[in-house]
Amino acid sequence: MDSYIEQVYNGVVEKDPGQEVFHQAVLEVLESLEPAIKKYPVYKENSILERIVEPERIIQFRIPWKDRDGKIQVNRGFRVQYNSALGPYKGGLRFHPTVTQGVLKFLGFEQIFKNSLTTLPMGGGKGGSDFDPKGKTDAEVESFCESLMFELYRHIGQFVDVPAGDIGVGGREIGYLYGAYRKITNHHGTCVLTGKGAGWGGSLIRPEATGYGCVYFVQEMLKTRGEDMKGKTVVVSGSGNVAQYATEKCIQLGAKVIALSDSSGWIHDPDGIDAEKLAYIMDLKNVRRGRIKEYADHYKVDYSSQGSPWSLKCDVALPSATQNEVDAKEAKALVDNGVMAVGEGANMPTVPAGVEIFLENKILYGPGKAANAGGVSVSGLEMAQNSQRFFWTREEVDAKLHQIMQSIHANAYHTSELFGAKGNYVMGANIAGFLKVANAMVDQGHRI
């Protein structure tokens, strides 16, 4: 590794020694920026790397709320406002017991480059809480969301920071958060949150956007080898928002999705998940809030709480659950079983050694910050529609999403070619995302 880059990375580790997943994200980006840092000395001269790894601001706060027995529970809330060189901070809120400042710094850091790739004017941020929505009543989730907003409202706004959903934060939670925001501030805030309901300011296609966008990205990668999605066997992990709509788009394009999972286990349906089975999953996960095992019981297919679906033979893999869910052994198994393309619906789902295996074996590998950028892209389009107080049709938003995913692919592909690693989307996406932010930071002076 270049000594300047190594020095920046070591500084990150020394400052926050316990934040391993954040270190992992920083290392992955810094390593791939090496050719750009060498080619353009202006970034080193302006200490861009030292500045870009440091969040502009982190807000941490207490969230007390009442459970169903009237007992006061306390969770921890965060908002990491990472980089606003390109626009207001933009990024989701995650509710999951594993949420820590380090996890949100990793996600916020990734978000800077992802948002830059979308072509829309958005900075990078991320937030959330160690609150676990699993097993909670609607009233408990509402009480929690209200309490979170009592603090968060003062830090957000259409020109400041616009949060959205992520793991554990879907339409229900955005509704409660938005209701609380309005009650506290007495105004709609034009666009203070994205992922709103379609009847009260949300964009059509926002729920679908990350999953659809991921499949559009994979389509573009496949095109570079004269292939398409039709007839491909696909393995998807997770069964939440991203996994559901990635599955829907695969079905629409004539591919066969044979697996889905949740944090308890995974199902294998060799006949493929069709539209009717997907409707069952959406009801199970979004309405009844049940476990994926019930699908296996209902449709009489295999279920396992051991191992992972990455042991299955498939042409396309779409990891869409969480970070570090594909280890090196699993990446090797996918390669040995003939996988052609991997599109990351989740953020950083593949461990670094797994990424190496995909790259060495010339697998079409679309890293999360490019492949899952469809969600934040349509969030950006939701902001645009809110600003003009006028809404686009489903077809219009979907066409814009498709065009953005094609442009992200083209940008990452051509950038990889320009820097001598044609088809390496890790390098292409990182450098392309970085250059736009870094140039903005240089232009805006040294205090940015």
147 binds ligand NDP (CB under 6 A): no
Looking at 137, 252, 263, 444, which residue binds ligand NDP (CB under 6 A)? 263
> By Cβ distance, which residue is nearest to ligand NDP?
240
Is 111 one of the binding residues for ligand NDP (CB under 6 A)? no
Min dist. Cβ of residue 331 to ligand NDP (A)? 17
To the query of whether residue 126 is one of the catalytic residues in this protein, the response is yes
Q: Should residue 115 be labelled a site residue for ligand NDP when binding is judged by CB under 6 A?
A: no
In degrees, to the nearest 5, what angle opens at C-alpha 154 toward C-alphas 151 and 160?
130
Q: Of 90, 105, 126, 277, which is the active-site residue?
A: 126
Rule CB under 6 A: say whether 165 interacts with ligand NDP. yes
- If one asks whether residue 350 binds ligand NDP (CB under 6 A), the answer comes out as no
Task: Measure the CA–CA gap between 213 and 241, rounded to whole angstroms.
Answer: 12
Nearest-approach distance from CB 319 to ligand NDP, in angstroms: 9
We find the least distance from the C-beta atom of residue 259 to ligand NDP, in angstroms, to be 12
Binding status of residue 322 toward ligand NDP by CB under 6 A: yes
String of contacts with ligand NDP for each residue 184-213, x by CB under 6 A: --------------------------x---
Sheet holding 256-262, edge to edge: 302-304, 265-268, 256-262, 233-236, 316-318, 341-343, 364-366
Of 57 and 289, which CB lies nearer to ligand NDP in the complex structure? 289
Cβ of residue 10: shortest distance to ligand NDP, in angstroms?
A: 27
Q: Which residue lies nearer to ligand NDP by CB, 354 or 423? A: 354
> Which residue in 77, 345, 367, 433 binds ligand NDP (CB under 6 A)?
345
Phi-psi region of 91 (alpha: psi -120 to 50; beta: other; left: phi over 0): left
**Would you say 43 or 303 has its CB closer to ligand NDP?**
303
The single residue among 129, 203, 239, 416 that binds ligand NDP, judged by CB under 6 A, is 239
Region binding ligand NDP by CB under 6 A among candidate stretches 48-56, 160-168, 303-311, 426-434: 160-168
Q: In this complex, which beta carbon is closest to ligand NDP, that of residue 217 or of residue 419?
A: 217
347 binds ligand NDP (CB under 6 A): yes
Is 267 among the residues that bind ligand NDP (CB under 6 A)?
no
- Indicate whether 281 belongs to the interface with ligand NDP (CB under 6 A): no
By the rule CB under 6 A, 372 interacts with ligand NDP = yes
Residues engaged in binding ligand NDP (CB under 6 A):
165-168, 170, 210, 238-243, 262-264, 320-322, 345-347, 372, 375
Residues labelled catalytic: 126
